[in-house]
Copies of this chain bind each other. A is one copy, B any other.
Amino acid sequence: MSNTMKQVVLAAYPCGNPGPSDFRIEEVPVPEAGAREILLRTLYIALDPLIRFSLDEKVLSGASRMVPNAVMIGPTVCEVAASNHPDYAPGDVVEGRSGWQEYSVVAPDQSDYRGPPRKVDRALAPVSTALGALGGPGQTAYEGIVKVGRVAAGETVVISAAAGAVGSIAGQIVKVLGARAVGIAGGTVKCAALLDLGFDAVADYKAPDFADQLKTALPEGANVYLDNVGGDVTLAVMPHLKRGARMPMCGFIAYYGVGMEGPGPDHLPGFYRQIMAKGLEIKGFAGIFGGQKGLEDIAGWMKAGKIRFAESMVEGIEAAPQAFSSVFSGHDHVGKLLVRVAPEA
Protein backbone atom coordinates (compact mmCIF):
# COMPACT_ATOMS: atom_id res chain seq x y z
CA MET A 1 0.00 0.00 0.00
CA SER A 2 1.03 3.58 -0.66
CA ASN A 3 2.61 5.58 2.14
CA THR A 4 0.13 8.41 1.74
CA MET A 5 -3.65 8.57 1.72
CA LYS A 6 -6.42 11.05 1.01
CA GLN A 7 -8.70 12.50 3.68
CA VAL A 8 -11.56 15.02 3.85
CA VAL A 9 -10.87 17.92 6.19
CA LEU A 10 -13.41 20.46 7.45
CA ALA A 11 -12.30 23.79 5.97
CA ALA A 12 -14.72 25.97 7.92
CA TYR A 13 -18.03 25.71 9.77
CA PRO A 14 -20.82 25.84 7.17
CA CYS A 15 -23.16 28.80 7.26
CA GLY A 16 -26.62 27.22 6.86
CA ASN A 17 -26.57 24.11 4.69
CA PRO A 18 -23.09 22.68 3.96
CA GLY A 19 -21.48 23.23 0.56
CA PRO A 20 -18.48 21.55 -1.10
CA SER A 21 -16.27 24.57 -0.35
CA ASP A 22 -16.67 23.92 3.38
CA PHE A 23 -14.39 20.90 2.93
CA ARG A 24 -10.87 20.23 1.59
CA ILE A 25 -9.13 17.07 0.31
CA GLU A 26 -5.65 16.56 1.77
CA GLU A 27 -2.93 14.01 1.20
CA VAL A 28 -1.32 12.80 4.45
CA PRO A 29 0.84 9.84 5.59
CA VAL A 30 -0.97 6.58 6.36
CA PRO A 31 -1.01 6.31 10.18
CA GLU A 32 0.35 3.34 12.14
CA ALA A 33 -1.46 1.38 14.87
CA GLY A 34 0.08 1.67 18.35
CA ALA A 35 -0.39 -0.59 21.36
CA ARG A 36 -3.96 -1.99 21.60
CA GLU A 37 -4.92 -0.03 18.48
CA ILE A 38 -6.16 -1.23 15.10
CA LEU A 39 -5.52 0.12 11.60
CA LEU A 40 -8.72 0.26 9.51
CA ARG A 41 -8.99 0.38 5.73
CA THR A 42 -12.14 2.34 4.97
CA LEU A 43 -14.62 0.60 2.67
CA TYR A 44 -17.79 2.74 2.99
CA ILE A 45 -18.59 6.13 4.51
CA ALA A 46 -22.21 6.95 5.38
CA LEU A 47 -23.14 10.55 4.54
CA ASP A 48 -25.34 10.88 7.61
CA PRO A 49 -27.23 14.22 7.78
CA LEU A 50 -26.89 14.20 11.58
CA ILE A 51 -23.18 14.98 11.08
CA ARG A 52 -24.35 18.53 10.35
CA PHE A 53 -24.89 19.04 14.11
CA SER A 54 -21.20 18.52 14.79
CA LEU A 55 -20.21 21.24 12.31
CA ASP A 56 -21.01 24.18 14.53
CA GLU A 57 -19.45 26.30 17.25
CA LYS A 58 -22.47 25.47 19.40
CA VAL A 59 -23.25 21.79 19.22
CA LEU A 60 -26.28 20.03 20.57
CA SER A 61 -25.56 18.14 23.76
CA GLY A 62 -24.56 14.61 22.85
CA ALA A 63 -23.04 15.54 19.50
CA SER A 64 -19.26 15.64 19.30
CA ARG A 65 -18.00 18.90 17.83
CA MET A 66 -15.70 18.84 14.83
CA VAL A 67 -13.14 21.56 14.42
CA PRO A 68 -11.89 23.26 11.26
CA ASN A 69 -8.72 21.81 9.72
CA ALA A 70 -9.36 18.40 11.31
CA VAL A 71 -10.53 15.28 9.48
CA MET A 72 -14.28 14.69 9.21
CA ILE A 73 -15.66 11.89 11.41
CA GLY A 74 -18.74 9.76 10.82
CA PRO A 75 -20.22 6.27 10.50
CA THR A 76 -18.08 3.94 8.37
CA VAL A 77 -17.64 0.31 7.47
CA CYS A 78 -13.95 -0.69 7.41
CA GLU A 79 -11.77 -3.74 7.08
CA VAL A 80 -9.14 -4.38 9.74
CA ALA A 81 -5.77 -3.97 7.94
CA ALA A 82 -3.56 -4.50 11.00
CA SER A 83 -4.40 -5.20 14.63
CA ASN A 84 -2.60 -4.80 17.95
CA HIS A 85 -5.85 -5.59 19.82
CA PRO A 86 -6.84 -9.16 20.79
CA ASP A 87 -10.53 -8.67 19.84
CA TYR A 88 -9.81 -7.82 16.18
CA ALA A 89 -8.00 -9.73 13.46
CA PRO A 90 -6.87 -8.58 10.01
CA GLY A 91 -9.67 -9.17 7.53
CA ASP A 92 -12.47 -8.51 10.05
CA VAL A 93 -15.10 -6.08 8.81
CA VAL A 94 -16.31 -3.55 11.40
CA GLU A 95 -18.89 -0.77 11.62
CA GLY A 96 -18.27 2.29 13.77
CA ARG A 97 -17.24 5.91 13.73
CA SER A 98 -13.98 6.83 12.03
CA GLY A 99 -12.48 9.42 9.71
CA TRP A 100 -13.47 10.35 6.18
CA GLN A 101 -10.11 9.00 5.01
CA GLU A 102 -8.65 5.93 3.36
CA TYR A 103 -7.11 4.56 6.58
CA SER A 104 -7.86 5.26 10.25
CA VAL A 105 -6.26 4.19 13.52
CA VAL A 106 -8.80 3.40 16.23
CA ALA A 107 -8.34 2.52 19.92
CA PRO A 108 -11.27 0.18 20.76
CA ASP A 109 -10.62 0.62 24.49
CA GLN A 110 -11.17 4.37 24.25
CA SER A 111 -14.30 4.45 22.13
CA ASP A 112 -17.00 7.10 22.56
CA TYR A 113 -20.62 6.56 23.68
CA ARG A 114 -21.30 4.38 20.64
CA GLY A 115 -18.97 1.69 21.92
CA PRO A 116 -16.07 -0.03 20.17
CA PRO A 117 -16.25 -0.95 16.46
CA ARG A 118 -18.94 -3.58 15.92
CA LYS A 119 -18.03 -6.67 13.90
CA VAL A 120 -20.14 -7.18 10.77
CA ASP A 121 -21.23 -10.65 9.59
CA ARG A 122 -20.23 -10.88 5.92
CA ALA A 123 -22.51 -13.89 5.45
CA LEU A 124 -25.68 -12.03 6.48
CA ALA A 125 -25.80 -9.39 3.73
CA PRO A 126 -23.48 -7.05 1.87
CA VAL A 127 -21.39 -5.32 4.54
CA SER A 128 -22.53 -1.85 3.44
CA THR A 129 -25.96 -2.67 4.93
CA ALA A 130 -24.33 -2.29 8.36
CA LEU A 131 -24.70 1.45 7.67
CA GLY A 132 -28.30 1.11 6.47
CA ALA A 133 -30.96 -1.56 6.92
CA LEU A 134 -28.79 -3.47 9.44
CA GLY A 135 -27.39 -0.38 11.19
CA GLY A 136 -28.55 2.93 12.65
CA PRO A 137 -31.13 3.70 9.93
CA GLY A 138 -32.69 0.25 10.37
CA GLN A 139 -32.84 0.70 14.14
CA THR A 140 -34.40 4.14 13.72
CA ALA A 141 -37.01 2.87 11.27
CA TYR A 142 -37.88 -0.04 13.56
CA GLU A 143 -38.11 2.14 16.66
CA GLY A 144 -40.28 4.69 14.85
CA ILE A 145 -42.72 2.25 13.26
CA VAL A 146 -42.85 -0.62 15.76
CA LYS A 147 -42.10 0.92 19.17
CA VAL A 148 -43.03 4.61 19.09
CA GLY A 149 -45.56 4.43 16.24
CA ARG A 150 -47.11 1.16 17.47
CA VAL A 151 -48.38 0.54 13.92
CA ALA A 152 -51.15 -2.06 13.68
CA ALA A 153 -52.45 -3.97 10.69
CA GLY A 154 -54.96 -2.00 8.67
CA GLU A 155 -53.65 1.40 9.73
CA THR A 156 -52.28 4.03 7.39
CA VAL A 157 -48.77 5.38 7.91
CA VAL A 158 -47.35 8.42 6.13
CA ILE A 159 -43.56 8.85 6.03
CA SER A 160 -41.57 11.97 5.16
CA ALA A 161 -38.12 11.69 3.58
CA ALA A 162 -39.46 8.30 2.50
CA ALA A 163 -36.71 7.73 -0.06
CA GLY A 164 -34.03 8.20 2.59
CA ALA A 165 -32.23 5.46 4.48
CA VAL A 166 -34.70 5.44 7.36
CA GLY A 167 -37.84 6.10 5.33
CA SER A 168 -37.24 3.43 2.69
CA ILE A 169 -36.85 0.78 5.40
CA ALA A 170 -39.69 2.18 7.52
CA GLY A 171 -42.15 1.91 4.64
CA GLN A 172 -41.25 -1.72 4.09
CA ILE A 173 -41.66 -2.50 7.81
CA VAL A 174 -45.10 -0.90 7.57
CA LYS A 175 -45.98 -3.36 4.80
CA VAL A 176 -44.60 -6.31 6.83
CA LEU A 177 -46.98 -5.27 9.63
CA GLY A 178 -49.96 -5.33 7.27
CA ALA A 179 -50.50 -1.58 7.23
CA ARG A 180 -50.70 0.92 4.37
CA ALA A 181 -47.52 2.90 3.56
CA VAL A 182 -47.67 6.37 2.00
CA GLY A 183 -44.32 7.96 1.16
CA ILE A 184 -43.41 11.61 0.64
CA ALA A 185 -40.30 12.33 -1.42
CA GLY A 186 -39.01 14.98 -3.80
CA GLY A 187 -39.15 14.28 -7.54
CA THR A 188 -40.57 11.65 -9.83
CA VAL A 189 -37.43 9.44 -9.72
CA LYS A 190 -37.66 8.98 -5.96
CA CYS A 191 -41.43 8.56 -5.99
CA ALA A 192 -41.20 5.83 -8.63
CA ALA A 193 -38.53 4.07 -6.57
CA LEU A 194 -40.84 4.09 -3.53
CA LEU A 195 -43.67 2.43 -5.46
CA ASP A 196 -41.12 -0.12 -6.64
CA LEU A 197 -40.16 -0.81 -3.00
CA GLY A 198 -43.80 -1.57 -2.20
CA PHE A 199 -45.19 1.73 -0.93
CA ASP A 200 -48.95 1.89 -1.60
CA ALA A 201 -48.99 5.56 -2.59
CA VAL A 202 -46.64 8.51 -2.88
CA ALA A 203 -46.73 12.30 -2.90
CA ASP A 204 -44.03 14.44 -4.51
CA TYR A 205 -43.36 17.50 -2.33
CA LYS A 206 -41.62 19.24 -5.21
CA ALA A 207 -44.67 18.96 -7.49
CA PRO A 208 -46.98 21.97 -7.81
CA ASP A 209 -49.94 19.74 -6.97
CA PHE A 210 -48.33 18.27 -3.82
CA ALA A 211 -51.37 19.16 -1.71
CA ASP A 212 -53.70 17.30 -4.08
CA GLN A 213 -51.36 14.31 -4.29
CA LEU A 214 -51.32 14.10 -0.50
CA LYS A 215 -55.11 14.29 -0.36
CA THR A 216 -55.45 11.53 -2.95
CA ALA A 217 -52.89 9.34 -1.14
CA LEU A 218 -54.64 9.80 2.22
CA PRO A 219 -58.38 9.72 1.46
CA GLU A 220 -59.19 8.69 5.04
CA GLY A 221 -56.26 10.32 6.81
CA ALA A 222 -53.33 8.70 8.59
CA ASN A 223 -52.91 6.99 11.97
CA VAL A 224 -49.15 7.51 12.15
CA TYR A 225 -46.74 10.07 10.69
CA LEU A 226 -43.06 9.16 10.84
CA ASP A 227 -41.45 12.59 10.54
CA ASN A 228 -37.83 13.00 9.56
CA VAL A 229 -38.20 16.44 8.06
CA GLY A 230 -40.27 19.10 9.83
CA GLY A 231 -40.97 22.39 8.07
CA ASP A 232 -43.47 22.87 5.27
CA VAL A 233 -43.83 19.14 4.56
CA THR A 234 -44.91 18.46 8.13
CA LEU A 235 -47.34 21.38 8.11
CA ALA A 236 -48.88 19.96 4.95
CA VAL A 237 -49.22 16.49 6.47
CA MET A 238 -50.67 17.43 9.86
CA PRO A 239 -54.18 18.32 8.66
CA HIS A 240 -54.44 14.75 7.28
CA LEU A 241 -53.68 13.09 10.61
CA LYS A 242 -56.55 11.42 12.39
CA ARG A 243 -57.59 12.35 15.91
CA GLY A 244 -55.16 10.78 18.38
CA ALA A 245 -52.59 10.02 15.67
CA ARG A 246 -49.04 9.17 16.71
CA MET A 247 -46.18 11.22 15.29
CA PRO A 248 -42.79 9.64 15.96
CA MET A 249 -40.11 12.15 15.04
CA CYS A 250 -36.61 11.01 14.18
CA GLY A 251 -35.18 14.08 12.50
CA PHE A 252 -35.91 17.55 11.15
CA ILE A 253 -33.69 18.05 8.13
CA ALA A 254 -35.60 21.19 7.18
CA TYR A 255 -33.92 22.90 10.13
CA TYR A 256 -30.48 21.30 10.36
CA GLY A 257 -28.84 24.42 8.96
CA VAL A 258 -30.84 26.75 11.22
CA GLY A 259 -29.46 27.91 14.55
CA MET A 260 -31.34 27.39 17.80
CA GLU A 261 -32.58 30.97 17.73
CA GLY A 262 -32.10 31.54 14.03
CA PRO A 263 -34.63 32.31 11.33
CA GLY A 264 -36.91 29.54 10.17
CA PRO A 265 -40.33 28.83 8.77
CA ASP A 266 -42.93 30.80 10.57
CA HIS A 267 -45.49 28.22 11.55
CA LEU A 268 -45.24 27.03 15.12
CA PRO A 269 -48.81 28.30 15.78
CA GLY A 270 -50.23 26.03 13.11
CA PHE A 271 -48.17 23.18 14.52
CA TYR A 272 -49.64 23.73 18.00
CA ARG A 273 -53.17 24.01 16.64
CA GLN A 274 -52.91 20.64 14.96
CA ILE A 275 -51.43 18.99 18.07
CA MET A 276 -54.29 20.29 20.19
CA ALA A 277 -57.16 19.93 17.77
CA LYS A 278 -56.37 16.27 17.16
CA GLY A 279 -54.81 15.20 20.43
CA LEU A 280 -51.67 14.26 18.52
CA GLU A 281 -48.94 12.35 20.26
CA ILE A 282 -45.40 13.37 19.35
CA LYS A 283 -42.26 11.65 20.55
CA GLY A 284 -38.71 12.51 19.64
CA PHE A 285 -36.44 9.49 19.51
CA ALA A 286 -33.06 8.35 18.28
CA GLY A 287 -32.48 4.97 16.69
CA ILE A 288 -29.68 4.03 19.06
CA PHE A 289 -32.38 3.04 21.55
CA GLY A 290 -33.93 0.59 19.05
CA GLY A 291 -31.46 -2.06 20.02
CA GLN A 292 -30.56 -5.49 18.78
CA LYS A 293 -34.13 -6.84 18.57
CA GLY A 294 -34.92 -4.48 15.70
CA LEU A 295 -31.86 -5.49 13.69
CA GLU A 296 -32.64 -9.18 14.17
CA ASP A 297 -36.20 -8.68 12.93
CA ILE A 298 -35.01 -6.69 9.93
CA ALA A 299 -32.35 -9.29 9.08
CA GLY A 300 -35.07 -11.95 9.23
CA TRP A 301 -37.37 -9.95 6.97
CA MET A 302 -34.52 -9.36 4.52
CA LYS A 303 -33.79 -13.10 4.40
CA ALA A 304 -37.49 -13.76 3.76
CA GLY A 305 -37.40 -11.28 0.87
CA LYS A 306 -39.83 -8.94 2.61
CA ILE A 307 -37.42 -6.02 2.93
CA ARG A 308 -35.02 -4.82 0.29
CA PHE A 309 -32.18 -2.52 1.21
CA ALA A 310 -31.90 0.60 -0.91
CA GLU A 311 -28.57 2.38 -1.15
CA SER A 312 -27.00 4.94 -3.42
CA MET A 313 -23.27 4.83 -3.98
CA VAL A 314 -20.81 7.53 -5.01
CA GLU A 315 -17.29 6.45 -5.85
CA GLY A 316 -14.05 7.63 -4.21
CA ILE A 317 -13.31 9.74 -1.19
CA GLU A 318 -12.98 12.91 -3.30
CA ALA A 319 -16.72 12.70 -4.03
CA ALA A 320 -17.71 12.97 -0.35
CA PRO A 321 -17.96 16.80 0.04
CA GLN A 322 -20.22 17.25 -2.98
CA ALA A 323 -22.38 14.23 -2.11
CA PHE A 324 -22.73 15.22 1.56
CA SER A 325 -23.81 18.72 0.55
CA SER A 326 -26.43 17.29 -1.80
CA VAL A 327 -28.16 15.63 1.17
CA PHE A 328 -29.37 19.06 2.30
CA SER A 329 -30.49 20.34 -1.07
CA GLY A 330 -32.89 17.60 -2.18
CA HIS A 331 -30.90 15.15 -4.28
CA ASP A 332 -32.17 12.23 -6.35
CA HIS A 333 -30.58 9.39 -4.37
CA VAL A 334 -32.75 6.64 -2.95
CA GLY A 335 -31.90 4.88 0.33
CA LYS A 336 -28.71 5.30 2.28
CA LEU A 337 -26.16 7.54 0.57
CA LEU A 338 -22.70 5.96 0.79
CA VAL A 339 -19.21 6.70 -0.47
CA ARG A 340 -17.38 3.60 -1.67
CA VAL A 341 -13.81 4.37 -0.65
CA ALA A 342 -12.18 1.03 -1.51
CA PRO A 343 -13.23 -2.42 -2.73
CA GLU A 344 -13.53 -5.26 -0.24
CA ALA A 345 -10.47 -7.50 -0.08
A221 to chain B, nearest CB (A): 12
When all copies of this chain in the complex are counted, the total is: 2
Q: Is A60 an interface residue (CB 8 A)?
A: yes
Chain A contributes a number of interface residues (CB within 8 A of B) equal to: 40
A276 touching B268 by the CB < 8 A rule?
A: no
Known A261-B267, A271-B268: A282·B279 in contact at CB below 8 Å: no
| Residue in B closest to A247 when the chains form the complex, CB atoms | B282
B230 touching A277 by the CB < 8 A rule?
A: no
A269 touching B258 by the CB < 8 A rule?
A: yes
B281 touching A283 by the CB < 8 A rule?
A: yes
Known A283-B281, A284-B279: A266·B269 in contact at CB below 8 Å: no
CA–CA, A280 and B252, complex, Å: 14
Known A266-B263, A269-B258: A62·B283 in contact at CB below 8 Å: no
B286 touching A272 by the CB < 8 A rule?
A: no
The proximity string for A residues 277-302 relative to B, scoring 1 for CB distances below 8 Å and 0 otherwise, is 11111111110010000000000000
Residues of B near A269 (CB, < 8 A) are 230, 252, 254-255, 258-260, 262, 264-265
Residues of B near A2 (CB, < 8 A) are none
Q: Is A249 an interface residue (CB 8 A)?
A: yes
B279 touching A60 by the CB < 8 A rule?
A: no
CA–CA, A261 and B274, complex, Å: 12
A289 to chain B, nearest CB (A): 8
Known A230-B268, A266-B266, A269-B264: A286·B276 in contact at CB below 8 Å: yes
CA–CA, A255 and B269, complex, Å: 6
Known A255-B269, A268-B268, A284-B280: A275·B263 in contact at CB below 8 Å: no
Q: Can you give 23 contacting A-B residue pairs, CB < 8 Å?
A: A60-B273, A62-B277, A230-B269, A249-B275, A250-B276, A251-B276, A254-B269, A258-B269, A260-B273, A261-B267, A263-B266, A264-B267, A266-B268, A268-B268, A271-B271, A276-B286, A277-B284, A279-B284, A279-B285, A279-B286, A280-B283, A281-B281, A282-B282
A287 to chain B, nearest CB (A): 11
Q: Is A61 an interface residue (CB 8 A)?
A: yes
Q: Is A270 an interface residue (CB 8 A)?
A: yes
Contacting residue for A264 out of B251, B252, B268, CB 8 A: B268
Contacting residue for A268 out of B251, B267, B273, B282, CB 8 A: B267
A230 touching B272 by the CB < 8 A rule?
A: yes
CA–CA, A61 and B241, complex, Å: 13
